[in-house]
């Protein structure tokens, strides 16, 4: 029995080794699909232009290929970039993004989402606009606001030209005057949030508020009881 097991042992060993190699070969060549999230970069943006639209920052892809290649594939091996070289202001559509994917040979993209991206470029411009002071609440009784202003009185807003055309002024955060009885000044943030524009440098201003006595205010007079009222309460008049 034992002799039969070891009979032609060399041939049996070679057959076993061949079977193992064949198994690894088959496993290595078997195909599989793997999902990845790939960062989407925008390169070579022309000077004096900016992206003025919502654009995706990543894409979801599904890669098909041999198991051996998939196992050794790392996120750093996959890259996707949109080249903006030579573009002018306006909307440009980049289709078939899979053709721009940098992946090892032997692998295939079976799904990509989104498959295209629209990029709107706009000119970068600046505009100086006035600052409007926002006051809330009411001063103490007997006082009114004589004047209010911000220092500086104007600030620069920069960004997409198309959006900048609709910006005529900016506003401060609300300055509370509740029960205030005298003039004051304080640093106040500018309340401005643009989609594709922003304050260039100045984020806060000094708000100066001048109060004065209300010329139309009549202080309440003390109540003086008449002799008749005092007699009614049982008090003899002097």
We report the CATH number of the domain holding residue 93 as: 2.170.120.30
Does residue 20 belong to any structural domain of this protein? no
Using a pLDDT cut of 90, give the percent of the chain over it: 60
Last residue of a domain, which of 115, 144, 169? 115
* Band of pLDDT at residue 223, cut at 50, 70 and 90: confident
- 75: which 2 tokens? 């996120």
Does residue 162 belong to any structural domain of this protein? yes
Are residues 58 and 103 both part of a single domain?
yes
Are residues 76 and 94 both part of a single domain?
yes
Are residues 98 and 152 both part of a single domain?
no
Are residues 40 and 96 both part of a single domain?
yes
* Band of pLDDT at residue 227, cut at 50, 70 and 90: low
Average pLDDT score over the chain: 86
Q: List the domain range (segments joined by +) for residue 201.
A: 124-213
The residues, any chain, with a CB within 8 Å of residue 206's CB and separated by 6 or more, are 150, 151, 185, 186, 187, 188
What's the total number of domains in the chain? 2
Given this model, what pLDDT does residue 45 score? 96
Looking at residues 42-61, what average pLDDT do you find? Answer: 95
Given this model, what pLDDT does residue 181 score? 94
Looking at residues 155-170, what average pLDDT do you find? Answer: 97
Regarding predicted confidence, which is higher, 21 or 37?
37
d(CA 176, CA 86): 51
Given this model, what pLDDT does residue 25 score? 52
Regarding predicted confidence, which is higher, 49 or 15?
49
55 CB neighbour count, 10 Å cutoff: 15
d(CA 99, CA 183): 66
């Amino acid at each position: 029995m034992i002799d039969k097991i070891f009979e032609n042992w060399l041939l049996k060993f070679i057959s076993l080794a061949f079977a193992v190699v064949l198994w690894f070969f088959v496993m290595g060549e078997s195909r599989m699909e793997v999902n990845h999230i790939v960062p989407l970069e925008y390169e070579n943006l022309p000077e004096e232009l900016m992206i003025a639209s919502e654009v995706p920052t990543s894409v979801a892809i599904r890669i098909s290929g041999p198991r051996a290649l998939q196992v050794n594939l790392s996120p750093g091996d996959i890259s996707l970039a949109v080249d903006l070289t030579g573009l002018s202001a306006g909307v440009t559509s980049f289709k078939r993004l899979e053709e721009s994917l940098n992946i090892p040979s032997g692998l295939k993209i079976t799904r990509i989402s989104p498959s295209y991206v629209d990029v709107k470029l706009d000119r970068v411009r600046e505009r100086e606009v006035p600052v409007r002071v926002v006051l809330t609440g009411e001063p103490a009784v007997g006082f009114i606001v004589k004047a209010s202003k911000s220092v500086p009185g104007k600030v620069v807003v920069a960004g997409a030209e198309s959006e900048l055309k609709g910006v005529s002024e900016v506003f401060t955060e609300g300055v509370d005057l509740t029960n205030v009885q005298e003039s004051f000044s304080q640093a106040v943030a500018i309340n401005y949030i643009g989609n594709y524009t922003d304050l260039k440098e100045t984020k806060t201003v000094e708000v100066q508020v001048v109060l004065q006595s209300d010329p139309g205010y009549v202080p309440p007079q003390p109540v003086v009881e008449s002799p008749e009222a005092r007699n009614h309460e049982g008090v003899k008049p002097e």
